Amino acid sequence: MTNGSRAASEDISCGDRASALSAAAAKAIRRLDWHPSAPHAVLVAAEANEPARTWKAWRRHLAQCSGRPLARLLGVERSPLFWALPSPGLANSPESRAAVLVELLAHNDRAARKRLAGGASWNDIANRWLAESRDAAASAAHAIESLAWCHALAWLAEELSPETWCALFERLVSVATDSAALALHSTPLLHQLYAGELSLALAYRFGQLKNTRAMRKPARKALSRGLADLLNGEGLPSWADLAIARPLLASWTRCAAIGREMQSRRGDGRDCWDAAAADQYRWFVLASLRLARRDGLQMFLPSAASGANAFDADLFAAALRLSGSKSLRTLATVLLPAAGEKRRRAQRSRRSAREAVARDKKKFPKPSYHCEWSGVSVLRPAWRRGGVRVALAFGAQHVQLELCCGPDVVLSGEWTAEVTLDGRRLEPVGTWEESCWLTNRWVDYVELQLPLAENVVLQRHIVLPREDGFLMLADSIVGHAWRAPRPDDEARSNGRHASGNGTGAVAATNGEPYDAHSRTIAYRGGIPLGTGIAFEPQVETREAVLRGTRDRALVLPLALPEWRTDHRVGTFACVDGSLELRQSNPGTSLVAPLWLDLEPKRFRGERTWRQLTVAEDRVIQPPDRAAGFRVQVGERQWIAYRSLTPRGNRTLLSHNLSTEFLVARFEVHDGAGAVDPLVEIE
């Protein structure tokens, strides 16, 4: 049979099927409300109330002019709906069924149906999904399934009966319309998938129908609002939304491609979001690069190769292309794994990009970033794929910390702290807040604080220099015996004046004399080790080496005695996969620092630390008033100091101090010590 006779035969069979429409099919077709932009043949047939002719003309239009498929639109082979798809989980979980349906609808062939759906017909598959999803709750898996059906409906018009096709179309319209009731801030991902992406996809695919054509405006509004409200103004999401950052990137990237196609096809100059949201999308791509590990997976999330944290080179390639930023593409070459390139070529490309970043730093953003609104900090000395990266996510009463060195995630998880005063645990009475952020050519420094019961404050210090190769993580507990006076002290003491302690600090909150040293403060802090990291303690001393693919960090508990034979003050060990530091001392304040040297070449050299004497007016200060430390690893030496009372003129290693916090290099020349501050908080 020739091609012409085959085509004629298919037209005859199509005509026979069209003329034999059931009453239910005819009724469903009559419910379709056509926009004047619909094909002329469809409008004429609908005006003449001929559902068979209407369906035939509509099916022919969908086969020829329904818009480019999503994969072709984004220039990829695999369906973009697989990007950041929720982890499959159990075999029959909603996520697993969504993955099967996406793959099934990406292949219009009998072999795929036989392999994935037992050879069932498309009508059977569609009707089964309609029945299962009738009372289905909104979920990411259901949203992805709805998007898969939406993008497949054009070619499914040749496979489905008219009544099934119309029922499927009406269900998708109903789902998108009902999504307006979803709250953006309580269900951000679902709001963007349903109210944003699904509505936009329906408008893109079926703009010839009035109800779907009208969806473009609310979809544009929903997407613009999502980018504006979920990001901090410079593309960084809140700490609470980090788990859905990759799925949001995937959804917004698909929307950006659809919006650009609609813009060029309609010629009205309107994208899928407003100009401010377009800027936020570009910033969000940068934030995604900042939060990427060396293997492309996102920080703070489990090191899994699938699911919402999977690295998909196609996703990032499309996002970078749609961002329109050459500098972002250069940074991506430096930071992300090379995909589809030979190793030698990838190394040359990365070297060239790294040289470009180093040569013209003004064209590129700073490697470190902090935002109190988002509750996220990223500290890194330079834009290097294998360099040291420290990230913090803080909010409510939790702080997540992650330290990456090369391919190893050395520390990852919640940084916990338990504080007790005279055996009573002091619970948080507020939330974590930023108290200081500093970044310059020498160092990145973050200071957070959390109010505890009984007027005690937990302060957290993170110091990462750019050239010295160490990380300092310290908790300071500042008790109410030494805190600075506040305007409401008189009211809090029931009208009686608080008693002073000679330094201008408050010594009690009830107006009675107060002896801080009659009390005992205790601290227990923990930071989980990353997957595959071994804790190797030394035999005679308290330091330990953290080993991954190689030695990564030498950990020194500065406030504890160096030698294990000295059992005073506290302990440092690995407990249940976490670094655990325990300390206690008389009073209501203490400093609990961990010093992590990150230069393995120095580990073989001399290493030691000492707690230093701090004096004020020639009087030695107890550890609940001020603490100083000296650290030596190899040939490098540093000092650290923390005042736990209002600042005073104090002496440390013959160096006069009037600061609250200091970390500095210490160099000895001709028998005299010179202090070169890295960070000094007055």
pLDDT, tens digit (0-9, with 9 covering 90-100), for 532-553: 999 999 999 999 999 999 999 9
Fold of 369-481+519-604: Beta-galactosidase; Chain A, domain 5 (2.70.98)
Per-residue pLDDT, 340 = 61
Q: Which residue has tokens 């909603």?
A: 94
Per-residue pLDDT, 556 = 97
With a cut of 70, say whether residue 10 has pLDDT above it. no
Six token digits for residue 681: 């908080």
Over residues 263-288, the pLDDT tens digits come to 877 555 578 999 999 999 999 999 99
With a cut of 70, say whether residue 7 has pLDDT above it. no
Q: How confident is the model at residue 309 (pLDDT cuts 50, 70, 90)?
A: low
Q: How confident is the model at residue 325 (pLDDT cuts 50, 70, 90)?
A: very high
Q: How confident is the model at residue 618 (pLDDT cuts 50, 70, 90)?
A: confident
Over residues 122-142, the pLDDT tens digits come to 999 999 999 998 888 999 999
Helices 94-105/140-156 angle, 10° precision: 20
Over residues 404-449, the pLDDT tens digits come to 999 999 999 999 999 999 999 999 999 999 999 999 999 999 999 9
Per-residue pLDDT, 341 = 61
Greater confidence (673 vs 616) lies with: 616
How do the domains of the chain map onto residue ranges? 1-65, 66-324, 369-481+519-604
- As a whole number, mean pLDDT of residues 30-57 equals 95
| Alpha carbon distance 129, 150 (integer Å) | 13
Per-residue pLDDT, 568 = 73
With a cut of 80, say whether residue 306 has pLDDT above it. no
| Alpha carbon distance 461, 469 (integer Å) | 17
Six token digits for residue 621: 């200060």
Helices 313-323/245-266 angle, 10° precision: 50
Residue 328 contacts residue 351 (beta carbons within 8 Å): no
From residue 134, give the alpha-carbon distance in Å to each of 129, 130, 175.
8, 6, 10
With a cut of 60, say whether residue 385 has pLDDT above it. yes
Per-residue pLDDT, 523 = 97
With a cut of 60, say whether residue 514 has pLDDT above it. no
Percent of all residues in the chain with a pLDDT value above 70, rounded to a whole number: 88
Per-residue pLDDT, 304 = 58
Q: Any idea which of 284-298, 459-473, 506-520, 594-608 has the lowest mean pLDDT?
A: 506-520
- As a whole number, mean pLDDT of residues 101-121 equals 81
| Alpha carbon distance 213, 207 (integer Å) | 4
State phi, psi for 601 to the nearest 5 degrees: -65, -25
CB hemisphere CA count around 237 (13 angstroms): 23
Per-residue pLDDT, 428 = 96
Per-residue pLDDT, 504 = 35
Bridge partners of 581, per DSSP, are 525, 572
Six token digits for residue 396: 């409510």
Per-residue pLDDT, 346 = 76
With a cut of 60, say whether residue 358 has pLDDT above it. yes
Per-residue pLDDT, 498 = 33
One-letter amino acid for residue 113 of the chain: R
Predicted TM-score of the model (pTM): 0.89
Concatenate the DSSP letters of all residues of 539-604 into one string: SSBS-EEEESSSEEEEEEETTS-SBTT---SEEEEEETTEEEEEEEEESS-EEEEEEEE--GGGTT
Pick left, alpha or beta for residue 455 (phi over 0 → left; psi -120 to 50 → alpha; otherwise beta): left
